[in-house]
Amino acid sequence: MADKREIITKAVVAKGRKFTTSNHTIRPPHAPSSILGCWIINHTFEAKKVEGAVEVYGQYEINCWYSCNENTKTEVATERVSYKDVIKLKYKDDKTIEDKDVIVKVLQQPNCSEAVISSNGNKIVVTAERELLVELIGETKVMVMLLDDEEEDDDWDLDVDDEELEDLNPDFLAKGEEE
């Protein structure tokens, strides 16, 4: 006769994913003539659960290398930007006992997909992309079946038979010790 037990364990009980494109305006000290390159670095973030979603608060630096003074001089404009992503959760386990822990995985670090000079010619507009995955860890119950001793399969037939013994090399250990 089988018996049941409930085990309380931690598991991923909900997940969410979000791809975001955002535009940022950088105001360099000199009017840009052309964009030479743009990088996004120093990405940091933290997250917290708010009802049926996770809010991710982050920031990163945009470094834009540009030419100015009619392409005779170069400069780097740096701007630190902040963001807030609200990522909706899809629950796989709606009978969660407790769900406190939030794990954020960066699927795509913030990167510059485009940097252009604004129409009035004195600003740089940077388009940034990022993708985040969040997992909510919670306590949940798992049901397991226990088998009686009578139902347990102890006949594994792990004995060594004579045919297997015939294939053994009796000098195996002796050769290893001589070297």
Mean pLDDT of 94-115: 88
pLDDT in tens, 35-67: 999 999 999 999 999 988 999 999 999 999 999
So what's the pLDDT on residue 1? Answer: 45
156 or 147, greater pLDDT: 147
Residue 149 has pLDDT above 50, yes or no: yes
What pLDDT, on a 0 to 100 scale, did the predictor assign at position 154? 58
Mean pLDDT on 142-158: 69
More confident residue, 174 or 70: 70
pLDDT at res. 118: 93
pLDDT score for 151: 53
The domain spans of the chain are 3-146
Which pLDDT belongs to residue 128? Answer: 97
Residue 126 class from Cβ within 10 Å (0-12 exposed, 13-18 middle, 19+ buried)?
buried
Tell me what percent of the residues of the chain surpass a pLDDT of 70: 87
Evaluate the CA torsion angle 129, 135, 136, 137 in order and state its sign: negative
Of the ranges 7-16, 66-75, 151-160, which one carries the lowest mean pLDDT score? 151-160
Taking only the tens place, the pLDDT of each residue in 85-102 is 999 998 776 677 776 789
Sheet order of strands, 3-26 included:
90-91, 3-26, 124-146, 98-117
The residues, any chain, with a CB within 8 Å of residue 130's CB and separated by 6 or more, are: 19, 20, 43, 83, 106, 108, 109, 110, 111
* Average per-residue pLDDT for the chain: 87
Report the alpha-carbon distance of residue 32 to residue 14 in Å, rounded: 46
